[in-house]
Amino acid sequence: MDVTLSCGAATDTGRRAANEDSYLAQAPAFLVADGMGGHQHGRQASDTAVAALRGLLSHHPLAPEDVVAAVDNARAAVAELAAHPHLAGRAPGSTLSGAVLTRHHGEPYWLVVNIGDSRTYRFRDGQLAQVSVDHSEVQELLDAGQTQIPAELGNIITRALGAGTDSQPDYWLIPVADHDRVLVCSDGLSREVDGPGIARILADEPDPAAAAAHLVAAALAAGGHDNITVVVVDATFTEAQRRDGVATDTVPHRTAVDIDESTLPKRLRAASEEQA
Ligand code: MN
């Protein structure tokens, strides 16, 4: 791969009794999972999701389809946890969000995946853009044009891995640009620190590990009501990739319809029709 990745991660329990977030921050996969289900089951769900995705680390280069297949495995593995007799019908679940470096038509792309309300952002040229779209009741009201969001909606999510559902993740395929920075986080960051606050820290701190630590510290300073997990990854092109060049003017799309539909994973194509 003609892209060099450097990453950092940080996590903190915040004011919760236990940390139910899990993450993977190792090239080429940068993922955060926020478990739910009470007691130790939330952590088990997020750990199970991340463990199922570890297989991505041993394949080079990855195609977008490989990531879709691994996420399907993660969904199945989390769903299986519900069979545990101690759970008495309460199926644990987990969010999953993040970016995986893939090759598509020979070029480097971020395959961004999301299910639930953890988030993946891209920081490019000093601008922070949220790539993922939350699967939450709040987001549904925003999509419907509502501007007054009832506070009691809190953090109700509408899709997850497991949790007694078979709901599907969303995917985006985004060309990697030289000096891209990607931020993946659980809602313990995004609920405590707003976009400009996040952007300021990403701009001020060139080291990804230090940026992740500063973001967690900012969330704690703002209250730290929930578990906080942050992964920051920087992409730098090698000289060979710079010579090749790639389109860097492409904005993130909900699906990859503008790239080459005929070669995309089935799921991506189906989703693009659904969104159209
Ligand atoms: Mn959370």
102 CA to middle of ligand 1, Å?
27
Q: Which residue has the higher pLDDT, 15 or 249?
A: 15
Tens digits of residue pLDDT in 215-271: 999 999 999 999 999 999 999 998 877 776 555 444 444 544 333 433 344 344 444
> pLDDT (tens digit, 9 = 90+) per residue, 49-99?
999 999 999 888 999 999 999 999 999 999 999 887 777 667 899 999 999
User: Per residue in 95-126, is it b (16+ CB within 10 Å) or e — as a string?
Assistant: bbbbbbbbbbeebbbbbbbbbbbbbbbbbbee
Which of 26-30, 35-39, 113-117, 255-259 is predicted least confidently? 255-259
> How far, in Å, is the centroid of ligand 1 from the Cα of 167?
19
Neighbours of ion ligand 1 (CB under 5 A): 34, 186-187, 226
178 and 248 Cβ atoms separated by less than 8 Å: yes
Distance 269 CA to ligand 1 centre (A): 30
Burial (0-12, 13-18, 19+ Cβ within 10 Å), 55:
middle
CA–centroid distance, 190 to ligand 1, in Å, is 10
Using only the alpha carbons of the chain, give its radius of gyration.
18
Residue type, position 144, single letter: A
- pTM for the predicted model, two decimal places: 0.88
How many other C-beta atoms lie within 10 A of the C-beta of residue 1? Answer: 17
Instruction: Give pLDDT, residue 86.
Output: 74
- HEC sequence for 140-191: HHHHCCCCCCCHHHCCCECCCEECCCCCCCEEEEEECCCCCEEEEECHHHHC
Question: pLDDT, tens digit, for every residue of 139-180?
Answer: 988 889 988 887 777 778 999 999 888 889 999 999 999 999
CA of 188 relative to ligand 1 center, distance in Å:
5
Position 1 scores a pLDDT of 56
- Alpha-carbon gap, residue 8 to 34, rounded angstroms: 18
Cα(157) to centroid(ligand 1), Å = 10
How many Å lie between the centroid of ligand 1 and the Cα of residue 137? 15
Rounded to the nearest angstrom, the distance between the alpha carbon of 217 and the centre of ligand 1 is 16
Mind listing the pLDDT tens digit for each residue in 193-224? Answer: 999 999 999 999 999 999 999 999 999 999 99
CA of residue 99 to ligand 1 center, whole Å = 19
